[in-house]
């Protein structure tokens, strides 16, 4: 069984018809935690979108959790997304239902049928993010940090092989960012693979991990001596 979770070779990343990153070579193995940094417009989001099938990989080689990105068909995208957990900056929760129902909605959408198993799974992931006792709360009653914890719980529902976190602390204050980061760190220590796009250099300095940078149309690994 290969440890390879993500592999790109000479990949060209496009945003519409603009080439934003060229000759991208990237390998992430099981259990790794990597940061993806770079200025706005440097290609971070386009790379993330390519990885979860929102943008097509037009040139180069790309595989993610066993899927070929270049040959990815429309109908395969939902199956790809079951094997990766995605955490967005703006949470993307459903405001018309409570925490429990938000998570149940995702399980049903990904083919779960048994109510008891769904209940068990929902409590298990809420326990991991410290919100088990608040399962009945409506999402609009939650603080930003709590909403992001629900979003992380949602990303864990289908035991993903990889978590893609796109600016998960972007809308949070520094204290809450730290709490969310500690949670992601904990999840990583339990063996999950995480690729996290971030602007928050304070976090990168505090929680040292492999760091990749998008700059000048290229992606490269940077040494850890990042000055804040």
Give this prediction's pTM: 0.92
Residue 82 to residue 109: CA distance in whole angstroms: 10
* Contacting residues for 127 by C-beta, under 8 A, at least 6 apart: none
Please tell me whether residue 68 adopts helix, strand or coil conformation: strand
Give, for all 228 residues of the chain, the pLDDT tens digit: 479 999 999 999 999 899 999 999 999 999 999 999 999 889 999 999 999 999 999 999 999 999 999 999 999 998 998 899 999 888 889 999 999 999 999 999 888 999 999 999 999 999 999 999 999 999 999 999 999 999 999 999 999 999 999 999 988 999 999 999 999 999 999 999 999 999 888 889 888 899 999 999 999 999 765 554
CA distance 42 to 59: 19
CA distance 121 to 40: 37
* DSSP states of 124-170: HHHHHTT-GGGTTSBGGGS-HHHHHHHHHHHHHTT--SEEEEESTTT
Question: Which residue shows structure tokens 């990904």?
Answer: 110
Neighbours of 61 (CB within 10 A): 14
Q: What is the DSSP letter of 9?
A: E
Dist. CA 189–CA 56, nearest whole Å: 32
Token pair in block for residue 197: 């796009």
The structural domains of the chain, ordered by start, are 4-70+82-222 (3.40.50.300)
Beta bridge partners of 24: 11
Please check whether residue 8 is in contact with residue 62, taking contact to mean a CB–CB distance below 8 angstroms: yes
At residue 227, the pLDDT reads: 52
């Amino acid at each position: 069984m290969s440890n390879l979770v993500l592999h790109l070779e000479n990949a060209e990343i496009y945003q519409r018809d603009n080439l934003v990153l060229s000759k991208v070579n990237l390998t992430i193995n099981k259990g790794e935690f990597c940061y993806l940094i770079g200025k706005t417009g440097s290609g971070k989001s386009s790379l993330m979108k390519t990885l979860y099938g929102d943008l097509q990989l037009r040139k180069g080689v790309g595989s993610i959790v066993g899927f070929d990105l270049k040959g990815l068909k429309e109908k395969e995208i939902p199956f790809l997304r079951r094997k990766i957990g995605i955490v967005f900056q703006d949470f993307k929760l459903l405001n018309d239902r409570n925490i429990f129902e938000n998570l149940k909605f995702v399980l049903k959408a990904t083919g779960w049928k048994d109510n008891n198993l769904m209940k068990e799974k929902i409590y298990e992931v809420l326990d991991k993010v410290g919100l088990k006792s608040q399962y009945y709360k409506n999402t609009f009653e939650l603080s930003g940090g709590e909403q992001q914890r629900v979003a992380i719980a949602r990303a864990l529902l289908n035991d993903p092989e990889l978590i893609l976190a796109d600016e998960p602390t972007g809308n949070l204050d520094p204290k809450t960012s730290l709490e969310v980061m500690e949670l992601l760190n904990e999840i990583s220590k339990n063996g999950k693979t995480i690729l996290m796009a971030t602007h928050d250099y304070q976090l990168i300095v505090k929680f040292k991990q492999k760091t990749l940078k998008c700059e000048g149309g290229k992606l490269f690994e940077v040494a850890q001596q990042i000055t804040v």
